[in-house]
């Protein structure tokens, strides 16, 4: 089988963002666009000859087209074997597990996560390294540099692989094995959680609803929650992956899961509601009459993890992304364990997890996970919650309130301004950055005094690398905080994210409306950054 070397020219826009290269399908469908990017990835890695590569995606439109191309390019570049999920499917955490479990060289995870899919939607490609986690900046920077000068890629002229049949096929000199996307992941979950206790919880009449949002977690949730844990059929809704996510927006937040939220606020509703995103790495947790913010969920899971068999000896440390609330910091302090603040994006947790310095990680954007894989993991968070509920025999609301009475409450919200003109958003951030030096000491209404103001620079304590300009932090003397940064996952214009946080002590007021509790800070953010006047927006596009 002769290897073909195809001439190509660079695309200027192949710069990976927070989590891989995300673009409109119309961008990805341009001639050689996928090929250039995948070849640039392979060119940026050490010798791949004879190595194993994992490939899988969230099943969105264009998944199979990209996978067929990726397989041919992998074969032409000398990979020995490709492991691909049946139907081209692998959730992001399952892909991470497969890479680790089979000691693969790395993997291609095809997804644009919570962004809509379909011919007019988004697509994405991300490379994960041998530890199962997203490639570190050193590699993503090299990939981008390579895309800017690429002049050819290697491929084979072979028929499409049948992705629906389990077992091995041959592409040139490379073996392609189509594997069950769920089995290894489900087996891993069984090692971490007390399935018998969770089964007993469902037997006792406990009811939950899990919304797979027509995305990748459907097959995983059906198998684990209904088949293995005995939750009644119908517990999992929207459980069949659709290439367009049924024309929905697979983002598990209170905007797109409003129906579930409303259901959980009624007496007849279930005891517990959860959802996951397009690629299965995010989670939404709602108890009866209680939405749990992702930042609180991180703190609660860390404080209770020892109740699950996989973490019975305790956790080594916690890491959270910089914009995530400091609720978890209070847990780490009490447990006397390490606490780390990292830039946004799961790739920054990899070194800390590999070094055994942290066990649990989380982000305010509904991502939580542990050292079992190197990605955030939506179903893992749901199962840990179920394990905790089964052992503590209390409801979510009771557990959350008890937590606040012990540690205090970090009121928290994020205001997103989507599809803002990129030049205006860039200038807004630049101007704010330039003013930071003058801010400490300033006093605003409600006695809010600025203690520090900086642009977050991360120093990785494991490999010594530095990542600058990771978001603006404005901290107040009472522990309140305003964080402002531009999204690295959007595909149109710029998304401005404003994160707001205020701490209330254990004996303080825990029942305020979140937006009201944060109103003074919202006002200060406006005064300092001029978001409304500069963008012309009167209100955020999304509030989480
Ligand atoms: C967003 C979130 C970040 C998350 C990233 C990928 O990034 O804020 O916390 O890690 O998405 O998640 P940004 O740069 O847009 O703020 V996923 O589920 O889209 O892979
Ligand atoms: Co995701």
CA distances to 318, 409, 450, 460 from 457, in Å:
19, 27, 19, 10
Residue nearest to atom 6 of ligand 1 (CA): 19
Q: Any residues with CB less than 8 A from the CB of 6 and at least 6 apart, and which?
A: 32, 35, 152, 153, 154, 155
DSSP label at residue 166:
-
Boundary of a domain, candidates 407, 429, 451: 407
Given a cut of 80, whether residue 1 has pLDDT beyond it is: no
How many helices (H) and strands (E) are present in the chain, helices listed first? Answer: 18, 27
For residue 219, what are the contacts with CB-CB under 8 A and spacing of at least 6?
89, 181, 182, 239, 241
Look at ligand 1, atom 5, and give the residue with the nearest C-alpha: 345
Q: What is the dihedral of CA 253, 257, 261, 264, to 10 degrees?
A: -120
Predicted ipTM of the assembly? 0.97
Q: Probe ligand 1: pick from 365, 374, 486, 490, max atoms within 8 Å of CB? A: 365
Backbone phi, psi, residue 442, to 5°: -65, 140
The pLDDT score that the predictor gives to residue 497 is: 96
Range 44-54 average pLDDT: 95
pLDDT-based confidence at residue 538 (cuts at 50, 70, 90): confident
Average pLDDT value for residue range 26-43: 97
The answer to whether the CB of 365 is under 6 A from ligand 1 is yes
pLDDT band at 526 (very low <50, low <70, confident <90, very high): very high
Measured between its terminal Cα atoms, the distance across the chain in Å is 53
Mark whether 227 and 88 lie in a shared domain.
no
State the pTM of this model.
Answer: 0.94
pLDDT at 490 over 90: no
Tell me, yes or no, whether 175 and 201 share the same domain: no
pLDDT tens figures, 145-194: 999 999 999 999 999 999 999 999 999 999 999 999 999 999 999 999 99
pLDDT of residue 309: 98
What's the CA-to-centroid distance between 329 and ligand 2, angstroms? 24
φ and ψ at residue 340, rounded to 5 degrees:
-130, 140
Average pLDDT over residues 300-321: 98
Instruction: State the DSSP code for 17.
Output: B
Dump pLDDT digits (tens) for 275-291. 999 999 999 999 999 99
**pLDDT given for residue 493 in this prediction:** 84
pLDDT at res. 26: 96
Co-location of 199 and 334 in the same domain: yes
Does any ligand 1 atom lie closer than 6 A to the CB of residue 368? no
Q: Is the CB of 371 under 6 A from ligand 1?
A: no
Tokens of 479: 């522990």
Q: Do the beta carbons of residue 137 and residue 467 sit within 8 Å? A: yes
Per the DSSP assignment, residues forming a β-bridge with 321 are 342
Residues 308, 344 within the same domain: yes
- Residues 396, 455: one domain? no
Could you confirm whether 113 is annotated as catalytic?
yes
**Closest C-alpha to 154, from 3, 41, 50:** 3
**418 in the same domain as 288:** no
Q: 199-235 pLDDT, tens per residue?
A: 999 999 999 999 999 999 999 999 999 999 999 999 9
pLDDT, tens digit, 9 for 90 and up, residues 255-272:
899 999 999 999 999 999
On whether both 167 and 251 belong to a single domain, the answer is no
Domain end among 353, 382, 407: 407
The mean pLDDT value of the chain amounts to 95
Taking CA atoms only, the protein residue closest to ligand 1 atom 17 is: 113
Q: Is 19 in the pocket of ligand 1 (CB under 6 A)?
A: yes
Beta bridge partners, 21, equal: 125
The confidence score (pLDDT) of residue 266 equals 95
Claim to verify: residue 295 and residue 164 sit in the same structural domain: no
Q: How far is CA 32 from CA 78, 147, 172, in A?
A: 20, 12, 21
Q: Is 447 buried (19+), middle (13-18) or exposed (0-12) by CB count in 10 A?
A: exposed
Does residue 467 sit in the same domain as residue 319?
no
* pLDDT bucket at 542, cuts 50 / 70 / 90: confident
Q: What's the confidence (pLDDT) of residue 36?
A: 98
Task: Please provide the DSSP assignment of 124-147 as one string.
Answer: EEEEE-TTSSBPPHHHHHHHHHHH
Give the structural domain span for 82. 4-180
Residues 388 and 463 in one domain: no
- The alpha-carbon radius of gyration of the chain (Å, integer) is 23
Per the CB < 8 A criterion, the answer to whether 478 and 443 are in contact is no
The answer, yes or no, to whether any atom of ligand 1 lies below 6 A from the CB of 282, is yes
Q: Are 537 and 531 in contact (CB under 8 A)?
A: yes
Residue 212: its H or E element = none
Report the CATH number that the domain containing residue 292 is assigned in CATH: 3.40.120.10
Which of 113, 295, 297, 370 is an active site residue? 113
Q: Which pLDDT tens digit goes with each residue over 407-447?
A: 999 999 999 999 999 999 999 999 999 999 999 999 988 88
Query: Among 123, 153, 180, where does a domain finish?
Result: 180
Number of domains in the chain: 3
Residues paired with 496 in a beta bridge = 417, 486
In this structure, are 403 and 482 located in the same domain?
no
Residues 249 and 333 in one domain: yes
Question: Residue 467 maps to which CATH number?
Answer: 3.30.310.50
What is residue 536's predicted lDDT score, i.e. its pLDDT?
86
Residue 491 has pLDDT above 80, yes or no: no
């Amino acid at each position: 089988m002769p290897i073909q070397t195809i001439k190509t020219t660079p695309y200027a826009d192949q710069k990976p963002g927070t989590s891989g290269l995300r673009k409109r399908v119309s961008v990805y469908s341009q001639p050689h666009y996928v090929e250039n990017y995948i070849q640039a990835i392979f060119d940026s890695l050490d010798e791949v000859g004879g190595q194993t590569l994992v490939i899988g995606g969230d099943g969105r439109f264009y998944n199979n087209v990209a996978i067929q191309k990726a397989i041919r390019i992998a074969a032409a570049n000398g990979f020995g074997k490709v492991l691909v999920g049946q139907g081209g499917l692998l959730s992001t955490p399952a892909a991470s597990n497969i890479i680790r479990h089979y000691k693969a060289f790395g993997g291609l995870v095809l997804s644009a996560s919570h962004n809509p899919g379909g011919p007019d939607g988004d697509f994405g490609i991300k490379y994960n390294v041998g530890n199962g986690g997203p490639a570190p900046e050193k590699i993503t920077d090299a990939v981008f540099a390579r895309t800017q000068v690429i002049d050819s890629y290697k491929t084979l002229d072979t028929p499409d692989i049948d992705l629906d049949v389990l077992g091995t096929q041959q592409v040139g000199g490379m073996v392609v094995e189509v594997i069950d996307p769920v089995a290894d992941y489900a087996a891993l979950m069984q090692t971490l959680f007390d399935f018998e206790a969770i089964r007993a919880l469902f037997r006792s009449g406990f009811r939950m609803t899990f919304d797979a949002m027509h995305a990748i977690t459907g097959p995983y949730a059906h198998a684990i929650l209904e088949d293995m844990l005995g939750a009644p059929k119908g517990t999992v809704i929207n459980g069949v992956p659709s290439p367009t996510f049924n024309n929905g927006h697979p983002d598990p937040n209170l905007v797109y899961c409003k129906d579930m939220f409303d259901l959980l606020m009624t007496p007849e509703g279930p005891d517990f509601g959860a959802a996951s995103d397009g690629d299965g790495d995010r989670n939404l947790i709602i108890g009866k009459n209680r939405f749990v913010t992702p930042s609180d969920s991180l703190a609660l899971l860390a404080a209770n993890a020892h109740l699950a068999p996989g973490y019975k000896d305790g956790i080594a440390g916690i890491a959270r992304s910089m914009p995530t609330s400091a609720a978890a910091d209070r847990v780490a302090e009490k447990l006397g364990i390490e606490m780390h603040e990292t830039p946004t994006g799961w790739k920054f947790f990899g070194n800390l997890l590999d070094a055994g310095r942290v066990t649990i990680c989380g982000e305010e954007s509904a991502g939580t996970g542990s050292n079992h894989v190197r990605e955030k993991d939506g179903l893992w968070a749901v199962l840990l919650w179920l394990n905790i509920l089964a052992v503590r025999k209390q409801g979510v609301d009771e557990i959350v309130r008890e937590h606040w009475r012990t540690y205090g409450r970090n009121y928290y919200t994020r205001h997103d301004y989507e599809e803002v003109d990129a030049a205006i958003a860039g200038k807004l951030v630049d101007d704010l950055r330039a003013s930071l030096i003058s801010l400490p000491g300033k006093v605003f209404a409600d006695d809010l005094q600025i203690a520090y103001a900086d642009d977050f620079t991360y120093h990785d304590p494991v490999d010594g690398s530095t990542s600058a300009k990771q978001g603006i932090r404005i901290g107040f003397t009472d522990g309140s905080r305003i964080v402002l940064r531009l999204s690295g996952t959007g595909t149109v214009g710029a998304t401005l994210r404003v994160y707001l946080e205020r701490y209330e002590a254990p004996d303080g007021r825990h029942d305020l409306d979140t937006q009201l509790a944060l109103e003074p800070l919202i006002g200060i953010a406006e005064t300092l950054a001029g978001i409304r006047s500069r963008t012309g927006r009167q209100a955020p596009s999304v509030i989480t």
